[in-house]
Amino acid sequence: MATPHIAASPGDFAPVVLMPGDPRRARRIAEELFDDARLVTEVRGILGFTGTYQGREVSVLASGMGGPSIAIYATELARFYGVTRIVRVGTAGGLQPGMPLGTVVAASAAHTDSAMTTRWVPGVALSAVPSFGLLAAAVAAAERDAVALQVGPVFTSDTFYGDEPGILAKLGALGTLAAEMETATLYAVGAKEGIETLALVTVTDDLIAGQHLSADERETGFGTAARLALAAALT
């Protein structure tokens, strides 16, 4: 049945879904990587497509920006459309000196300032972690294809224009690789809904050196992460 945010029919989504934030990136993934891609939803401009990749059915759906947005789409995919694996293929700001723009980071954990899960188990700070099987498959695919994948924790923030001085520097000093806005929430939804999740984010901003990719480069520079995501999720 159609949900309030995804006007698709049963069977329109494959069990495996790639999830970028940007609807235009979702379209590009479908058009450039999928065979026989068809549009299955476009409610509120959030585009979703289903097609095949190397003979396997797969879907892509944009998540929009931020934890609440990705929580809506990931939850509806899991509860109503039979999706069992979601891999986020988004963008992030690098927190480590010398990390080149375009680096792909596999988030082995996600620190967060979000309060979304604080009431799930009172008194406990829940860990936001991916499916180990998906993470291991992504690492194996990167080694096989000679992709310089970085594996480590990221920071998921509810705030894009943060005013708290020093937070990112402190997180970087503790080994956090990148900052973004969706991964911890996706991992929490995965745990709650019993599905496998992973985030493979591309570093589009160097938050140490102040370097940034352009809007066009952000939209088009998804290929390495998307192919790794497909290799891992279709294992």
Using alpha carbons only, give the angle 187, 188, 193 rounded to the nearest 5 degrees.
100
Could you tell me whether strands 56-61 and 48-53 are parallel, antiparallel, or unpaired per DSSP bridges? antiparallel
The pLDDT value given to residue 213: 81
Coil, strand or helix: which one is 131? coil
* Region 169-187 average pLDDT: 97
pTM of the model: 0.95
User: What would be the CATH architecture of the domain defined by 16-233?
Assistant: 3-Layer(aba) Sandwich (3.40)
Any catalytic annotation for residue 35? no
Say which of 113, 205, 206, 216 is annotated catalytic: 205
Contacts of 229 (CB under 8 A, 6+ apart): 18, 87, 89, 138, 198, 200
184-230 per-position pLDDT tens digit: 999 999 999 999 999 999 999 988 888 888 877 766 667 999 999 99
| pLDDT tier, 168 (very low <50, low <70, confident <90, very high otherwise) | very high
Task: Answer yes or no: is pLDDT of 65 > 70.
Answer: yes
pLDDT at position 131, please?
A: 98
Mean pLDDT over 82-105 rounds to: 95
